Amino acid sequence: MTRLSPIEPSLRRITGDLAKLLLPCIVLMLAACSRLQPSDFEATHPRFDILQFYTGHTKSTGLLEDRAGSPMKRVATETWGHMEDGELHMTQDVIFKDNKPQRRTWRIRRLDEHNYEARSENVIGVAHGEAWGNTLRLDYVLALNPANPLTHVRMTHWMSLQPDGRTMLNSVTVSKLGVVIAHITEVFHQDSEAPAWP
């Protein structure tokens, strides 16, 4: 049986009636504000290579907020990654406050100088990443409940590598029908101690 996303209980509560709402004005406003592109960060440094960053051991702490910016849950992750046949194989434990750890696996590969694709459980199709300079945008559709397409949400990550080269800020927008319903902000750190693969 496919395991549900660890954010499923919180997001399902938020999304409850959104599928029934018609919000064309908000959708148009969001579209007008979404002109920022990864290529706008071409001149920034250090260069962010997601395959290199997640090879080894990383940890993160962060916060899930509702669309109004009110805190909902703390989140922490622990990630182990290694390269195999030119592809990053990554295992990630995600822990939301009051929830048991959830394990997720990713397979990420580079398509060309700026583009990546990734696959994971509960991701519909393929996740697409585009990286320029110190920034990568990752987009995909997440099935909160694989049996119900009405629970699908779009996840948009903006990942920014910091000057030390070992810290990355991840700002995630969760949207449904073009309407932002939640935000997740995380700080990732590479762990030089590199514990054994779980």
Residue with tokens 């395959």: 51
Q: What is the pLDDT of residue 39?
A: 95
- Between CA 38 and CA 25 the distance in angstroms is 26
What single-letter DSSP state applies at residue 68?
T
- Between CA 151 and CA 157 the distance in angstroms is 19
Q: Which residues in 115-166 belong to E strands, given as ranges?
A: 115-120, 123-132, 135-143, 152-161
Cβ neighbours for 130, distance < 8 A, ≥ 6 positions apart? 38, 39, 114, 115, 116, 136, 137
The CATH code of the domain at 8-34+44-191 is 2.40.128.20
Domain ranges across the chain: 8-34+44-191
Q: What is the pLDDT of residue 146?
A: 76
Q: What is the CA radius of gyration of the chain?
A: 17
Predicted confidence pLDDT, tens digits, the chain (198 residues):
555 555 555 555 555 444 444 344 444 444 445 588 999 999 999 999 999 999 999 999 999 999 999 999 999 999 999 999 999 999 999 998 777 788 899 999 999 999 999 999 889 999 999 999 999 999 999 988 877 888 899 999 999 999 999 999 999 999 998 999 999 999 999 987 655 555
Q: Which of 118, 142, 141 is nearest to 130 (CA)?
A: 118
Q: What is the pLDDT of residue 197?
A: 53
Q: What is the pLDDT of residue 118?
A: 98
Q: Three-state SS for 28?
A: helix
- Between CA 30 and CA 86 the distance in angstroms is 37
